[in-house]
Structure 1
Amino acid sequence: MKEIVHITEAFGGGVLSMLTQLSNRAAAAGVSVTILHSIRPESPVNFSKLFHPAVRLVHVDMCRDVHPVKDWTGLWDLVRALRHCDPSVVHLHSSKAGVLGRAAACIATPDARIFYSPHGLSFLRRDVSPAKQLAYLNFERIAARMGGVIVACSASELHEIESKVNPRSAVLIENGVNVSEIPPRIEKDDDRIVIGMSGRASYQKNHEAFASLATTLQTPNVGFSWIGGNPDELPVEARSAVKCSGWVTRDRALELTAQLDVYVQTSRWEGMPIALIEAQVAGIPAVVTDVVGNRDVVKHGVTGFVATSIEEMGAYIARLRDDPALRARMGAAARHAASARFSMDTIFRQWLSIYETGSGKPVREPLGANEVASYEARPDSQF
């Protein structure tokens, strides 16, 4: 490969995590890597320090929401930036880059192999109107006609893509983590239990639900921890029930995650959450909402529980809270399964293979017909 160019407007969170891992490994292997990126409020100030010295970072202004004038400007800025590169691969991350990036690549680098990772489908957003959801779906359908391979990060995301977007080519490569960087859950000498979540305050992450669970389930020996949150982002009645770390580095977030006994993910929608994967690799049983991404990571009844309502989440959390043997058994199962399944060593080899071949052939065999229910939401799900 001559050069890999990554393009993203969503320069933060799980997208940034995957970008650093893919680009750093490629750069270390001697591949030229350029990242065309925007800046979001959640983008870390010191983001350049996260990347291999050989990775070239180029700022291109793109906006998250639909804005005809800014989108037109962003498109031609991408075209100019791509013409300064000579990529054999253009990898687009998140929905805005998926649309603008495919158009720009068709204009500037028509011979490059194009891959698009949604990292959470925009038409699944619950913070916009049904009309906007339909508009986002139509944008995805139009962009899919421009070519390239859509790469889903979870089986349920792939199911949504194939059933609603109807792309020419779609494959599955799950998100991965550097397993060796993730500290295992810390064994405690006392009987105090810590239940926690990790992530920013947002409608998507649904931190209000976590706060509600904390006020309902806390006891003198059970504490709730919000890694990345601030007290003023909580309802007043929940501030005494939840300990907030404030913004922390990723290394510190992993240290705090290792102190948890139960991990909770209350998201309204996802792609495949990195923080949840990290918690499972650490050996922490998880209770998650039954949405795209969450239900793919957690094996219900084995490495945690997948809940269809907040009330059901509360019941599952209480069950784990009150049963040390169950926590230990599920935690051990989570660590064993997740460490093998989500190892970035394996995931990166899958990416290199598809980068080099440009093949639309699934990197993993698709789920069998009898497994569809494992990633489709149950009919009674409230999420």
Structure 2
Amino acid sequence: MSPAGPLRREVRWSDSDAGRVVHVVGCVTDEVYSFLGPATHALARSGLDQSVVMIDDVQYRHHLVSLHERAELVLAPSLRNPMRQWREVLKALRQTLADSPPRAVHLHGIVPCLVGAWAVRTSGIRAAIFYSPHGSRAMGRFKWIGATLLWLFRPLLQPGSNTAIVNVPQERRAFDKWKSVDVIESPASDVFLTVARNEARHPLVVTGGREHNPRNAELLAQLAVLLTDDALRIGFNWIGSVDPVSRQRLNAAGVSVFDVANDAERAQRLAAGWIYVAPGGTRGFPVFLVEAMAAGLPCVAMDTPQHREVIRDGETGFLCESERDLIGCIATLVDSPTLRTRIGEAARKEARERFGEGRFSSRLLAAYSFDSPTASDPDSPAPLEGAPA
């Protein structure tokens, strides 16, 4: 049985002559969304129309409502067969390009880079192309695969005439032979920078995420068990969604789970914490760590390349090489309100200067070589065509 065609959220294009940007994505994971979401808002404020071609994976549909309301969404059906899956994405993209030639095409992820570049080259359109890996596995644990793909598909990708945009500085090395590489780190929403700190009555360690990540949940559960002490009365909160098995594991360890719906609620939950802990790594930009810094929490993180890019050890947070170090830092911060305040204020100052939404917008538009924002946000869109009632 052949799959149904893509769902579309149709929009009324603006009256601006700024043009259109087409984004091509696989699944909108946390790492991808941390860049794509703010990008759709920044580009909309500049007067640009946008289309986002992506895989309609129910696991990540919660991100769609936070993409800018004036972005047309083109959702390719989610299929188990990878070859059929990407053929559907290619078909949806070709139709989107044919509807109205864009001014630029931004490809998010390694496979979307290959599929999107093929669609653009074979369509005959002339548009600027931007590539972003967003913590793809092919840039991390399997970086030899990513390097091989980039080398094999050089004639298609044309690195000498196109631009890469990375939001994790260490990914820059994979694109050192490209025309240009811009490092544009994902922003923290203003609600985190402005939320008032409101520490709980008793010590509270917080962490979390939106994407299913059993390993991080497992690590937090282990940490909660190790720090269980009636005298210390340390509480643990997971802020975000988890899979059923991880929820059961966290609850068994005495960790409270709060599946928050939006940034404002997450900021309020963070504000009650004494300490934010990042017990495991992330493939891409550590968005939840940055949000905690923006909320003014002292952060304790395992010493991974991504965390090292964000935290200055001993100044804006603490980097730990072992579980013992992690527990030691938590204990020190629990015992010292002055240290919590100093590190938390330094973290928020760093986040405001480095991860503010205004800085992100200006750097993104500069990378696109587009003008600064001038237009206001337009009207709301129509619902998805073909979506179930």
Shared fold, TM over 0.5:
yes
- Structure 1 residue 263: Cα displacement: 1.0
Provide the alpha-carbon RMSD of the alignment: 2.9
Residue matched to 2:52: 35
Residue matched to 1:150: 164
Rounded to whole Å, the distance in 2 between the matches of 1:16 and 1:201 is 11
**1:287-321 deviation line (CA, Å, top 9, x unaligned):** 12222322211111111112223332222222222
Residue matched to 2:385: none
- Aligned ranges 1:286-325 → 2 under 5 Å: 286-325=299-338
- Aligned ranges 1:253-332 → 2 under 5 Å: 253-332=266-345
- Are residues 108 and 270 of structure 1, via their aligned partners in 2, closer, same or farther at CA, if it must alter by over 3 Å? same
Secondary structure, aligned partner of 2:339: helix
Q: Which of these residues, 108, 113, 118, is aligned with residue 93 of structure 1?
A: 108
- Aligned ranges 1:298-377 → 2 under 5 Å: 298-356=311-369
- Whose RCO is larger (CA < 8 A, sep 6+)? 2
Contact 1:82 1:109 (8 Å CA) reproduced: no
- Are residues 307 and 280 of structure 1, via their aligned partners in 2, closer, same or farther at CA, if it must alter by over 3 Å? same
- Aligned ranges 1:1-383 → 2 under 5 Å: 1-45=18-62, 47-48=64-65, 50-61=66-77, 67-108=82-123, 110-126=125-141, 134-143=144-153, 145=155, 146-147=157-158, 148-159=162-173, 161-162=174-175, 167-180=178-191, 182-184=193-195, 186-188=197-199, 190=201, 192-200=202-210, 202-203=212-213, 206-220=216-230, 221-230=233-242, 232-234=245-247, 236=249, 239-246=252-259, 248-356=261-369
- Residue type of the partner of 2:220? F
- Structure 1 residue 153: Cα displacement: 0.6
- Structure 1 residue 268: Cα displacement: 3.0
Contact 1:285 1:303 (8 Å CA) reproduced: yes
- Are residues 24 and 205 of structure 1, via their aligned partners in 2, closer, same or farther at CA, if it must alter by over 3 Å? farther
Rounded to whole Å, the distance in 1 between the matches of 2:19 and 2:290 is 32
- Residue type of the partner of 2:234? V
- Structure 1 residue 234: Cα displacement: 4.7
Contact 2:107 2:116 (8 Å CA) reproduced: yes
- Are residues 11 and 170 of structure 1, via their aligned partners in 2, closer, same or farther at CA, if it must alter by over 3 Å? same
Residue matched to 2:383: none
- Are residues 185 and 142 of structure 1, via their aligned partners in 2, closer, same or farther at CA, if it must alter by over 3 Å? farther
Rounded to whole Å, the distance in 1 between the matches of 2:212 and 2:205 is 19
- Structure 1 residue 204: Cα displacement: 7.6
Which of structures 1 and 2 has the bigger CA Rg? 2
Q: Which runs of 5+ in 1 are unaligned?
A: 127-131, 359-383
- Structure 1 residue 61: Cα displacement: 4.1
Rounded to whole Å, the distance in 1 between the matches of 2:211 and 2:364 is 31
- Residue type of the partner of 1:33? Q
- Are residues 174 and 53 of structure 1, via their aligned partners in 2, closer, same or farther at CA, if it must alter by over 3 Å? closer
Contact 1:157 1:293 (8 Å CA) reproduced: no
- Residue type of the partner of 1:177? A
- Residue type of the partner of 1:335? R
- TM-score, normalisation: structure 2: 0.79
- Structure 1 residue 278: Cα displacement: 1.1
Between the two proteins, what is the percent identity of the paired residues? 24
- Are residues 267 and 84 of structure 1, via their aligned partners in 2, closer, same or farther at CA, if it must alter by over 3 Å? farther
Q: Which runs of 5+ in 2 are unaligned?
A: 1-17, 372-389
- Residue type of the partner of 1:56? E
Secondary structure, aligned partner of 2:60: coil
- TM-score, normalisation: structure 1: 0.80
